[in-house]
Amino acid sequence: MTKMMNNNKSTTHSSLLIVFSFLLLSPCVFAQLTPNFYKVSCPNAEQIVKQVVIEQFAKDPTITAGLLRMHFHDCFVRGCDASILINSTSSKSSEKTAGPNLTVRGFELIDEAKRRLEAACPSKVSCADIITLATRDSVVLAGGPNYAVPTGRRDGLVSNPNDVDLPGPTQSVTSAFQTFKNKGMTLDEMVLLLGAHTVGFAHCSFFSDRLSNFQGTGKPDPTMDPALVTKLKGLCAIGSDPKVFLDQNTSNVFDNEFYRQIRKNRGVLKIDQELASDPSSSSLVSTLASNPAQFFKSFGDAMTKMGKIDVLVGTAGEIRKNCAAFNPRPKTFIDSVLDIVEKIIE
Ligand code: HEM
Ligand SMILES: *[C@@H]1O[C@H](CO)[C@@H](O)[C@H](O)[C@H]1NC(C)=O
Ligand SMILES: *[C@@H]1O[C@H](CO)[C@@H](O)[C@H](O)[C@H]1NC(C)=O
Ligand SMILES: CC(=O)N[C@H]1CO[C@H](CO)[C@@H](O)[C@@H]1O
């Protein structure tokens, strides 16, 4: 009898233990992005972001391009965690200082949205969600598709220029795809996301080799329309490293014209042009060039998926008060002990 009671007791104990650890772990196990995550904690969050985007877009419609590229660079380096927003300090350089990221723009818009969100609901809305929502809102304003942006991302605690390993414009389609594959994206999704090059600019330094001395031939890239070569040579001769539109036709409109242009040999970046001819991508390019509705739907789906890459949720990371700086870290008990140990060693 006693034995049985003991058994029962220990069973109850272990069940309690299981339930207890389950409760402890559950925020981590079940935390995930959800539609309208801020419904209760900051009901106007999405409206506040949208309002800032509307105001900035009215002043500068090319902000759509800035945000799209910022979002891509954020998600492909340590996941969509706003690590791209961190400013370098005197002691530590951040992602922002890495090569291509120097030309990322749109930081002021994020800062303005954050300022208004902190006024409305302090420490609730992550910078990572602001980037994701603002990008979507700006795509819609430029004439592009509306797509789902589930929220609940948290901001990362690391931003390191050495983590920046983005594909370059002179890479082949196959080689650039390795980076996308490593992030769980398919080749078709890469082709769709590169459709974002329907808006925005490229600095001449990213493609000038194609205009005069392509791969040491002393001649322009034969896959570029000679009329475009002449035009870009002219544009690139003015000032120091000027920028030209990536989509040479409907430059500020989010449409499927990018695919139509590359099919006419009018792609500006080498990798963009190669999408039209590479056997792995050419048939999708041809479909998207003639089917804007399919481009919009599939681009939206690919953006929703990109926005989920390696996100921090639940209690991971933090909600930054200032998107350009990590929150000051309060000293923990362990920090204090380490301080004392350090003093003793000295
Ligand atoms: C293989 C992948 C990619 C490569 C090699 C690439 C390369 C580039 C390069 C070299 C530029 C010019 C930057 C400058 O001169 O400032 C650029 C601009 C841009 N990229 Fe990409 N990109 C890639 C994928 C993407 C993706 C996935 C998106 C978004 C979904 C994107 C959106 C943009 C936009 C909107 C611009 C114009 C930026 C502006 O006007 O400030 N790119 N890209
Ligand atoms: C520019 O785009 C419009 C709309 O897609 C198209 O009708 C026109 O043919 C394009 N022009 C050139 C030069 O590609
Ligand atoms: C981050 O850097 C930008 C430009 O370099 C500056 O305008 C902004 O005020 C900085 N933000 C912080 C929090 O240091
Ligand atoms: C595409 C590109 O130029 N990527 C660069 C990003 O920055 C790092 C660090 O400076 C370079 O190594 C990459 O080549």
pLDDT tens-place string over residues 191-200: 999 999 999 9
**Ligand 4: centre distance to CA 98 (Å):** 6
Our mutation pick for probing the ligand 3 site, out of 87, 102, 118, counting the most ligand atoms within 8 A of Cβ, is: 87
Residue 3 has pLDDT above 50, yes or no: no
Residue 114 dihedral angles phi and psi, to the nearest 5°:
-65, -40
Dump pLDDT digits (tens) for 277-313. Answer: 999 999 999 999 999 999 999 999 999 999 999 999 9
Q: Are residues 333 and 295 in the same domain?
A: no
Residues 105 and 184 grouped into a single domain: no
Ligand 4-lining residues (CB < 6 angstroms): 98-100, 161, 164, 166, 168
240 located within any domain: yes
Ligand 3 pocket by Cβ (under 6 Å): 87, 322, 324-325
Mean pLDDT of the chain: 91
CATH number of the domain within which 268 lies: 1.10.420.10
CATH code assigned at 136: 1.10.520.10
CB 153 within 8 A of CB 32: no
Task: Say if residue 130 is in the same domain as residue 195.
Answer: no
- Position in ligand 2 atom list of the atom nearest CA 249: 1
How far does residue 69's CA lie from ligand 1's centre (Å)? 6
Total of domains in the chain: 2
Exposed / middle / buried, residue 163 (Cβ in 10 Å: 0-12, 13-18, 19+)? middle
Same domain assignment for residues 162 and 32: yes
Q: Is the pLDDT of residue 12 over 70?
A: no
The pTM of the full predicted model, rounded to 2 decimals, is: 0.88
Ligand 3 atom closest to Cα of residue 323: 13
Instruction: Please state the atom number of ligand 3 nearest to the C-alpha of residue 325.
Output: 13
Which residues neighbour 287 within 8 Å (Cβ) at sequence distance 6 or greater? 294
Please say if 13 is a catalytic residue.
no
Query: 297 with 184, same domain?
Result: yes
Which one of the ligands is nearest to 115 CA?
3
251 CB near ligand 2 (under 6 Å): no
Verify that 82 and 100 share a domain, yes or no: yes
Confidence of residue 23 (pLDDT cuts 50, 70, 90): low
Based on the domain organization, do 94 and 162 belong to the same domain? yes
Same domain, 209 and 128: no
Q: Determine the residue of 165, 170, 179, 205 to mutate for testing ligand 4's pocket, defined as the one with the most ligand atoms within 8 A of the Cβ atom.
A: 165
Same domain, 298 and 345: no
Residue 5 confidence (pLDDT) above 50: no
Burial of 179 per CB tally in 10 Å (0-12, 13-18, 19+): middle
Same domain, 322 and 194: no
Q: What is the C-alpha separation between 261 and 273, in angstroms, rounded? A: 9
User: How far from 123 is each of 48, 154, 161, 258, CA to CA, in Å?
Assistant: 15, 11, 26, 40
* 42 assigned to some structural domain: yes
Rg (CA), the chain: 24
Residue 160 sits in which domain range?
Answer: 28-166+315-346
> Does some domain include residue 21?
no
Q: What is the pLDDT, as a whole number, of residue 99?
A: 61
